[in-house]
């Protein structure tokens, strides 16, 4: 049990606060939330159920990790994005480490769509990483350097189904 970093209830409580903020910030704006797959899938599903303003969703498969290490290479599983004219984009990801994944994804949306804005929302962010390439607009929790799994986060595609977040040992 001591491996558990955040329980399901802690995550849901924090997600509610973030959803409240999104409801305020994007009131009267056309909002599309984009799930960065696969890691954000559980967080994304819980987050969108708590958003009460009109919104749309879409998904994008992105990968940069093998095991517990970044490859340093961001790979998109889909090349062509929708147009998103007049819409505000909020990218939703599981964890921000160096920021490489979200920076590359943000740039892809800015360069390849007509979106009015591109911001991001992450479940976790590493607090020790002082040289992040991107600061997300919303962060649920900050963590240290430990590798974590559960609630969508994986080690070689396993453990995504755990209902909480735990330290991988």
Name which of residues 38 to 57 contact ligand XMP (CB under 6 A): 39
Q: Which residues pair with 36 in a beta bridge?
A: 60
Q: Does 98 bind ligand XMP (CB under 6 A)?
A: yes
Q: How far is the CB of 20 from ligand XMP (least distance, A)?
A: 25
CA distances from 9 to 4, 6, 16, 57, 156 (A): 12, 8, 11, 24, 26
**Cβ of residue 85: shortest distance to ligand XMP, in angstroms?**
28
Is residue 160 within 8 A of residue 152, CB to CB? The reply is yes
Q: Name which of 20 and 78 has its Cβ closer to ligand XMP.
A: 78
Q: x/- binding map, residues 109-148, to ligand XMP, per CB under 6 A? A: --------------------------------------xx
Stretch that binds ligand XMP, among 13-21, 25-33, 95-103, 105-113 (CB under 6 A): 95-103
Quick one: CA dihedral 36, 71, 166, 142, positive or negative?
negative
- How many CA atoms lie within 13 Å of 123's alpha carbon, on the beta-carbon side? 29
69-74, long-range: CB < 8 A, 24+ apart: 70/97, 70/98, 70/100, 72/100, 74/100, 74/101, 74/104, 74/105
By CB under 6 A, tell whether 149 contacts ligand XMP: yes
Q: Give Cβ neighbours of residue 28 (< 8 Å, ≥ 6 apart).
A: none
Residue 56 Cβ vs ligand XMP, minimum distance, rounded to whole Å: 22
Residue 34 touches ligand XMP, criterion: CB under 6 A: no
Catalytic residue annotation: 97
Instruction: Provide the binding-site residues for ligand XMP, judged by CB under 6 A.
Output: 39, 64-65, 70, 93-101, 147-149, 153-154
């Amino acid at each position: 049990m001591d491996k558990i970093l955040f329980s399901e209830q802690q995550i849901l409580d924090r997600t509610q606060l973030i959803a409240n903020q999104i409801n305020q910030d994007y009131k009267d704006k056309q909002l599309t939330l984009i799930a960065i797959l696969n890691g954000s899938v559980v967080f994304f599903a819980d987050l969108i159920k708590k958003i009460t303003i009109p919104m749309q969703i879409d998904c994008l498969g992105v990968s940069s990790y093998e095991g517990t290490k970044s490859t340093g290479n961001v790979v998109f599983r889909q090349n062509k994005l929708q147009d998103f004219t007049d819409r505000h984009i909020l990218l939703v990801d599981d964890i921000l480490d160096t920021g490489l994944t979200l920076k590359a994804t943000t740039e892809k949306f800015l360069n390849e769509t007509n979106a009015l804005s591109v911001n991001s929302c992450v479940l976790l962010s590493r607090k020790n990483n002082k040289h992040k390439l991107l600061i997300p607009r919303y962060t649920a929790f900050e963590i240290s350097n430990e590798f974590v799994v559960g609630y969508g986060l994986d080690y070689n595609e396993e453990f995504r189904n755990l209902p909480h977040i735990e330290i991988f040992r």
